[in-house]
Structure 1
Amino acid sequence: MTKDMTEGNIWKHLFSFAIPLLLGNLFQQTYNMIDTAIVGQYLGEEKLASVGASSSVQFLVLGFCMGICCGFAIPVSQHFGAKNTLKMKEAIFHAGFLSILFAAVITTACAILCPNILHILSTPENIFDDAYSYLFIIFLGIPFTILYNFLSGLLRAVGDSKTPFLFLVFSSILNIILDLTFIIVFKLGVSGAALATIMSQGVSGLLCLIYIIKKFPILCISKEHCRIKSDMTKQMIAMGVPMGLQYSITAIGSMVMQSANNGLGSTYISGFTAGMRIKQFLMCPFDAIATAASTFCSQNFGAGNLKRIKEGLKKGVTIGVSYGLISGLILIFFGRTLSLLFIKASASAVLDASGKYLACLGYFFWALGILNVCRMSVQGLGYAGRAVFSGAVEMIARIFVSILLVPVFKFNAICFADQTAWICACLYIVPTCLLCLKKIERNLNKQNTPY
């Protein structure tokens, strides 16, 4: 069922859209968490380090794939809000064509460069082979990642965030079964964990495709829509690539940060890996809230309703900051305990490292509520390039801490690298968001001025 956000109660729209999306994000994160938990508990510390040694580059590549799919969905959402079905279906065709193209290029390049990437990350020799096996298989699953995110992006563009969640529930259960089967029964090690992840992702993508064909005729295209137009292609690339780059640019800083942490030894690699999984899980609500705000702003931008855009943005930030304060307290007081999901109780040094990392994050977790909502809203309003720059600010901040401070303060600097990046990016994106709203207001006033 489609959902028009240009009318009705704003709080209701944001929550009803965000909650299924949140649950879907949580289930998507369980892919990585289940891999990590099973690997850590059944295969041991060293195998856990091999899975975690490339987490930042996975975020870079898979984040780019998810980002371009989110960007491709923005014109679809805008045309849906403007009630222009022809333009919307043309946008869907171009988004699909470009998704296939990007999937082929990215998968080929990443598979070939996989060993070089691990060397750049300073992956220790004792875990290199397992890290390579895991990362190579994850890269081969990139088309599945793009398939799911492209199709779920289309559904969210027309207001349906519930269906992608339901498919992820099913595929997450499948992932658990496959993980246990491949690792415990067939003894495939970390390769089994990677295979379980990509196979589960592929199932969720195929389920989305079947559902759209059968239940969403508004998203189905015919031959008349399948004509490549240069202006539409440029618009899609202008939305998708900057959004993908924003994820990737942020991840570059994380890669430098991870490389610096890898140099501190396997104890800190394992502790950082466990902490990262918990952080990513607790960050899911920020993504859900921000995506809800972005879709809301995008539809109302198409409808030319500035007042609702401003109200939606304010309410989105309020929800995000409130959640950040609560989850921050959880990280501060229960971070070490949560790390037991991935680390055996006997590995006290690894637990201490993970707990310290999470506690330090907790003091500044609220900042993500501001950063994510403002940045995603700026993207939804069509200013993708400005949102990308906020990612560049994050990258620069993480690199600064990793290169200049980690050699001096060791793991203590790692524990405050993310927070430094978040605060710096907030100082840029908040005034930028306000300037974008003023620009939209001027443009709408010009359109409404009689000549």
Structure 2
Amino acid sequence: MAMDAVLNLGSNLAKVPLFTLFKDTSNVFRNDELGIEIAQIAVPAALALAADPVASLIDTAFIGHIGPVELAAVGVSIAVFSQVSKIAIFPLVSVTTSFVAEEDTTGKLSTELQENATLEDDFAVNKEMEELLPKAESTHKSSPVSSISTKRVYERRHIPSASSALVVGCVLGIIQALFLIMAAKPILNYMGVHPDSPMLIPAQQYLTLRSLGAPAVLLSLAMQGVFRGIKDTKTPLYATVVGDVANIILDPIFIFVFRLGVSGAAIAHVISQYLISLMLLWKLIEQVELLPPSIKDLQFSRFLKNGFMLLMRVIAATFCVTLAASMAARHGSTSMAAFQVCLQIWLATSLLADGLAVAGQAILASAFANNDYDKAKATASRVLQFGLVLGLFLWVFLLVGLQFASTLFTEDTNVLNLISVGIPFVTATQPINVLAFVFDGINFGASDFAYSAYSMVLVSMMSILCLFILSSSHGFYGIWVALSIFMSLRALAGFLRIGTGMGPWSFLRT
């Protein structure tokens, strides 16, 4: 009886959604079709996502050798630009990826049905022609099937969401550029850079010049969302690497040779962003039909409705991180410089997990469009297990590497001392950060945008409260404790949705 009870308990636990996602962990690195598909999407996506923060890290390293004031000033400006950009970028890219993946999948199904019907008709016509025409003449005539197949090879995909994303990206990029250029000084004042601060002039110069690249940033990210949706993450990687290499080459030329200082760093970054956008647009035109036959095909209402839900989400998350940067700036240039270095490392490494999130989102969106719940469950399970392994690896790697790498960013002793305070938080939160990003991608793949928005608002409200309390009582240390709480709550929100089999994940309970 006792053995039967144990077996029944084990059987019941196996049906709990949480346990279904973490079963068969021994197969996490299995070289099967799903594992290869995830790797082919995730690895290029992760490298492309990490490239921009790495470029910002290199900017930070170059500027850090100008002086701690310039490093802190650029730190505030990058924080402002990045967080304002995320307000537009995150909803744009996430919605685009899901919609493009769904439309591409349904379009392929529709095309296959049409091709099958056409082939049947063609075979019937060919049979009649063979009976009516002499055999030799029939042999020399080109087959309608081959001409149709040849034509289809060169047909571009018809994906209305791709055109919608580009239109929205262009408009948002222009609005963002105008907003940051006109409101640079008040925003910096809000961030703790007061009129009498030595950081104000270099921070304003950098922010104003870098804002000129906002249209290119938004457009390139919109196109990356399209490429992710069609499961092509190699093209964005190539374009991003070329642009960032150009940035790295131009940085020392503009900063030191032309003696433009922080302005030179901003100009180099803007040039690299426009280069990336041009390369992506050129490749996208080859693959996707960007001019729909009717304005109704753009489906702006559906695009904007779900985009607004994610806009709520990203505003809540962005406000929390921006507030943390503002509080670090209020403690002085030394605190802000140390915070900038730690934050850039934190984001650069954590975004490696976003590659897994992109793979999960693209594959899951296709699976849900096909009502293939077995593949949906297998994909969610595999990317979560990959995420846990990646998080543990980053924890160990950063724990060892950051002890020696801090001096690459600055030689100021006071800044280095504060960086050493932030390093334990940057390293220890890596597994949590990775799972939080992966849960986001999984929920986006299921088009569960409403839950993602409302849960993030609640998480941010709780985290902001912790930020105010801990920053005032424990300073720089308290800021990082609050950010660690923020990421933990984000991971918990994703865990609860899928682990309990709620919303689109109710099939996990059957």
**TM (normalized to structure 1)?**
0.89
* SS of equivalent to 2:199: helix
2:119 counterpart of 1:95? no
Report what 1:203 is aligned to: 275
2:102 counterpart of 1:34? no
Which whole-Å deviations, capped at 9, do the CAs of 1:186-218 have from their partners, x for residues lacking one? 11111111111121011011001111223x1xx
Report what 2:263 is aligned to: 191
2:119 counterpart of 1:54? no
Which whole-Å deviations, capped at 9, do the CAs of 1:124-169 have from their partners, x for residues lacking one? 5110111111111222211010111111211111110011101111
Given that 1:332 and 1:360 are in contact with CA atoms closer than 8 Å, whether structure 2 keeps it comes out as no
Measure, in 1, the Cα distance between the counterparts of 2:452 and 2:399.
Answer: 30
Report what 2:405 is aligned to: 338
Shift of 1:440: 5.5
Measure, in 1, the Cα distance between the counterparts of 2:364 and 2:158.
Answer: 17
Inter-CA distance 396–333: structure 2 relative to 1 (3 Å threshold): farther
Q: Which one of 240, 249, 266 corresponds to residue 307 of structure 2?
A: 240
Measure, in 2, the Cα distance between the counterparts of 1:107 and 1:385.
Answer: 29
Inter-CA distance 393–357: structure 2 relative to 1 (3 Å threshold): farther
2:170 counterpart of 1:146? no
Inter-CA distance 428–440: structure 2 relative to 1 (3 Å threshold): closer
Rg larger in 1 or in 2?
2
Measure, in 2, the Cα distance between the counterparts of 1:235 and 1:287.
Answer: 25
Report what 1:422 is aligned to: 487
Report what 1:367 is aligned to: 432
Measure, in 2, the Cα distance between the counterparts of 1:53 and 1:221.
Answer: 37
Given that 2:41 and 2:231 are in contact with CA atoms closer than 8 Å, whether structure 1 keeps it comes out as yes
Residue type at the aligned position of 1:410:
G
Report what 1:10 is aligned to: 34
Measure, in 1, the Cα distance between the counterparts of 2:462 and 2:56.
Answer: 26
* SS of equivalent to 1:126: coil
Report what 1:316 is aligned to: 383
Shift of 1:253: 0.5
Which whole-Å deviations, capped at 9, do the CAs of 1:31-75 have from their partners, x for residues lacking one? 21121111112x111110100023332232111232133122321
Report what 2:137 is aligned to: none
* SS of equivalent to 2:107: coil
Report what 1:165 is aligned to: 237
Inter-CA distance 174–208: structure 2 relative to 1 (3 Å threshold): same
Measure, in 1, the Cα distance between the counterparts of 2:448 and 2:62.
Answer: 41
Residue type at the aligned position of 2:68:
E
**TM (normalized to structure 2)?**
0.79
Measure, in 1, the Cα distance between the counterparts of 2:459 and 2:255.
Answer: 37
Report what 1:45 is aligned to: 68
Inter-CA distance 398–258: structure 2 relative to 1 (3 Å threshold): farther
Shift of 1:240: 2.6
Gapped regions of structure 2 (runs ≥ 5): 1-31, 112-156
2:130 counterpart of 1:65? no
Report what 2:154 is aligned to: none
Residue type at the aligned position of 2:358:
T
Report what 1:107 is aligned to: 177
Report what 2:150 is aligned to: none
* SS of equivalent to 1:424: helix
Inter-CA distance 83–435: structure 2 relative to 1 (3 Å threshold): farther
Inter-CA distance 332–30: structure 2 relative to 1 (3 Å threshold): closer
Shift of 1:310: 1.3
Inter-CA distance 303–223: structure 2 relative to 1 (3 Å threshold): closer
Shift of 1:369: 2.3
Shift of 1:437: 5.9
2:141 counterpart of 1:76? no
* SS of equivalent to 1:200: helix
Residue type at the aligned position of 1:27:
A
Inter-CA distance 76–271: structure 2 relative to 1 (3 Å threshold): same
Given that 1:271 and 1:350 are in contact with CA atoms closer than 8 Å, whether structure 2 keeps it comes out as yes
Q: Which one of 364, 369, 378 corresponds to residue 302 of structure 1?
A: 369
* SS of equivalent to 1:399: helix
Measure, in 2, the Cα distance between the counterparts of 1:338 and 1:284.
Answer: 19
More deviation, 324-333/115-124: 324-333
Shift of 1:107: 2.3
Gapped regions of structure 1 (runs ≥ 5): 1-7, 446-451
Report what 2:114 is aligned to: none
Measure, in 2, the Cα distance between the counterparts of 1:34 and 1:276.
Answer: 14
Inter-CA distance 435–198: structure 2 relative to 1 (3 Å threshold): farther
Measure, in 2, the Cα distance between the counterparts of 1:20 and 1:312.
Answer: 18
Tell me the C-alpha RMSD between the 2 structures: 2.2
More deviation, 100-109/377-386: 100-109
Which whole-Å deviations, capped at 9, do the CAs of 1:335-384 have from their partners, x for residues lacking one? 2422222112xx22211211220212322321122211111211221111
Shift of 1:98: 2.1
Given that 2:163 and 2:291 are in contact with CA atoms closer than 8 Å, whether structure 1 keeps it comes out as no
Shift of 1:389: 2.8
* SS of equivalent to 2:367: helix
Given that 1:321 and 1:368 are in contact with CA atoms closer than 8 Å, whether structure 2 keeps it comes out as no
Measure, in 1, the Cα distance between the counterparts of 2:189 and 2:502.
Answer: 44
Measure, in 1, the Cα distance between the counterparts of 2:285 and 2:61.
Answer: 36
2:191 counterpart of 1:121? yes
Which whole-Å deviations, capped at 9, do the CAs of 1:55-107 have from their partners, x for residues lacking one? 33223211123213312232111111223579952222222222222223222
Given that 1:321 and 1:369 are in contact with CA atoms closer than 8 Å, whether structure 2 keeps it comes out as yes
